[in-house]
A = this chain, B = another copy of it.
C-alpha cells in the first residue's frame, strides 16, 4: 500500500480519470497512454482491463503512476486485445484505513451472459443505502468503493443483455457519474443526467475512444468528435459503430464549474472552450474586479499560471516567475524523518529572491481550501524581502464540500466556511486578498450575463452550497444543507 503524501497540497482533488478504446490493435497500450495524460485526475493507483478472444478478460491493477507500471512489455503483453478500458484514482478522504488493491477499478463481474468491466468517475450519493439493500439480498462486496454497487445491480438485473442491465443499474443510482464499461465486444460510455463529470468521444484510425478529457485524445493522436451528452449512453461495437441511447429522464445540464478552474488540464477543451483560455480570462476578470497597484504579477505554480498571465496582460503589470518549482518532487516519501516532514512546501517551491526583493507582489492562485499552503507561501515571499503581498484567487471562496467525486475536507476545515473575506485576509496576514466573484467566474466561462440564480448553468455547490443532487448518504451521516438564512 502506498504511503499517504506527507505534504498537504491544500487543493481539492479530483478522484478519477477514465479512458476506453475499441477497434485498435493492442488497445491497452492506448489506454495506458490515455491514463498517463489523465494522471492529474488521480495519482494513487490505476487499472486496465482488456479483452481478447484467446484469453477472455485480462486485468492489471497497480498502485502508483501509470508511467511506472503500465509501460513495461512484460505487463502490457498480459493485456492483449482490441478493446480495453482503464481508470486512475485518488484515495478518498475518510475511508477507513489505506486503499486496498481490491478498491482499484475497473471492477469486473461475470454474468450468465458473459463478463463486463466498469470504471467510474464521480460519486454515488446513495451508495450506502444501495449497499445495505444489496447485502440484505445476498451480494458480497469485495471493495469499499461506492462504484461496486453498479456491478452488483447489474448482476441482479432481470434484463437479458449487458447494456440493458447497465441502464437498469444506473437508473437506481443517484449522484454524479461518468462511466466507461466494456463487454466482450462493446465499449460503453455514460454520463449522469446532469452531466456533472466530463466524458468525450474520439476517433483513432478505425477505432473509437472515450476519455475524461480531450488532452488524452491528443497523446494517442485521436481526433476529438464530441462530448457525450448529459444523460446519454453510447454503445460502441465493430458492427454497429456508435449507438446513442437516452436511459434517463431529461434534465438541464449542470457541469462542474471547478473542472474549468482547476481539475482539467489547461490543454483540454470543454464545451468547445479552451480550459487555458478560460483560466486566462478569469485572470482578466480578476484584474478588472480587484485591481491593485503593484510591481509584479506572480503565479503560484503551476495551476495559477494562466490566470496570472491574464491578470498581468489586463493590468499591464509585468509578469514574472517569483516562485520556482522543484521538478523532482514526488509522492514517495516512506516514513520521512521529522526534519523532512517539517519542510512542507519548501521541498516543492522556492522563492526567486532576486526578483521578489523590494517589490509589491500580486500572487495569483487558483483557489484557497484550508489556507495552509497560502500562509506558507506568503511567509516565503515576505522572507525574501517583498514590500507588499496581494493574493488574487481565480475562484470564489470554497465554502462547501463537494459530494460528486471530489475529495474535499469536511466543511469546518474550509477556510471560507468559517471566515469572511476580510477575516481570511487577516488570517493570512496579507496586504490584500480578493476572490473572483461567482458572476465573474461565469462570465469567464462564457456566460456573458453571469450566473442565472434560478437555474444555474453549472454545478457550483462548492461555492454556493446549492447541491443539484441531494447528498442522501451524507445527510444520513449528519451533513446539514444550506438553510434559507445562510
> CA of A321 to CA of B445 in the docked complex: distance in angstroms?
18
Contact present for B140 and A110 (CB under 8 Å): yes
Q: Is A335 an interface residue (CB 8 A)?
A: yes
Would you give the 0/1 interface string for A336-354, flagging 1 where the beta carbon is closer than 8 Å to chain B?
A: 1101100100110011111
Give min CB distance, A470 to chain B, whole Å: 25
Q: Is A334 an interface residue (CB 8 A)?
A: yes
Tell me which residues from 44 to 89 in chain A have a Cβ below 8 Å from any Cβ of chain B.
55-56, 65-68, 71-74, 76
Nearest B residue to A101 via CB reads B101
Give min CB distance, A384 to chain B, whole Å: 9
Nearest B residue to A6 via CB reads B71
**Residue among A26, A32, A76 having the largest count of chain B Cβ atoms under 10 Å:** A76
> CA of A390 to CA of B352 in the docked complex: distance in angstroms?
29
Would you give the 0/1 interface string for A26-42, flagging 1 where the beta carbon is closer than 8 Å to chain B?
A: 10010011001101100
Contact present for B352 and A267 (CB under 8 Å): yes
Which of A225-233, A269-277, A419-427 forms part of the interface with chain B? Answer: A269-277
Q: Is A455 an interface residue (CB 8 A)?
A: no
Which one of B318, B346, B355 contacts A219 once the chains associate, using CB atoms below 8 Å?
A: B346
**If the complex has contacts A265-B324, A355-B276, are A141 and B110 also in contact, measured as CB distance less than 8 A?**
yes
Tell me which residues from 69 to 128 in chain A have a Cβ below 8 Å from any Cβ of chain B.
71-74, 76, 96-97, 101-102, 109-112
Which one of B140, B336, B350 contacts A218 once the chains associate, using CB atoms below 8 Å?
A: B350
Which of A148-156, A171-179, A189-197, A402-410 forms part of the interface with chain B? Answer: A148-156
Contact present for A267 and B102 (CB under 8 Å): no
Contact present for A140 and B135 (CB under 8 Å): no
Nearest B residue to A143 via CB reads B142
Contact present for B340 and A32 (CB under 8 Å): yes
Contact present for A276 and B65 (CB under 8 Å): no
Write out the residue numbers on chain B whose beta carbons fall within 8 Å of the beta carbon of A346: 218-219
Contact present for B139 and A347 (CB under 8 Å): no
Contact present for B353 and A36 (CB under 8 Å): no
Contact present for A43 and B140 (CB under 8 Å): no
Write out the residue numbers on chain B whose beta carbons fall within 8 Å of the beta carbon of A26: 339
Which one of B151, B219, B265, B309 contacts A319 once the chains associate, using CB atoms below 8 Å?
A: B309
Q: Is A306 an interface residue (CB 8 A)?
A: yes
Which one of B67, B266, B273, B339 contacts A330 once the chains associate, using CB atoms below 8 Å?
A: B67
Nearest B residue to A332 via CB reads B68
8 residue pairs from A and B, CB less than 8 Å apart: A36-B328, A66-B328, A73-B336, A139-B140, A218-B346, A269-B353, A277-B354, A306-B321
Interface of A toward B, CB cutoff 8 Å: 26, 29, 32-33, 36-37, 39-40, 43, 55-56, 65-68, 71-74, 76, 96-97, 101-102, 109-112, 132, 135-142, 151-152, 155-157, 215, 218-219, 265-267, 269, 273-274, 276-277, 280, 302, 305-306, 309, 313, 318-321, 324, 326-330, 332-337, 339-340, 343, 346-347, 350-355
A sample of 11 more A-B contacts (CB under 8 A), given A37-B326, A112-B135, is: A33-B343, A39-B326, A43-B328, A56-B96, A66-B328, A71-B336, A72-B334, A112-B132, A139-B140, A265-B350, A277-B354
- Ranked nearest first, the 7 interchain pairs of A and B with the lowest CB-CB distance are A274-B354, A138-B156, A39-B328, A267-B324, A138-B155, A267-B352, A109-B140
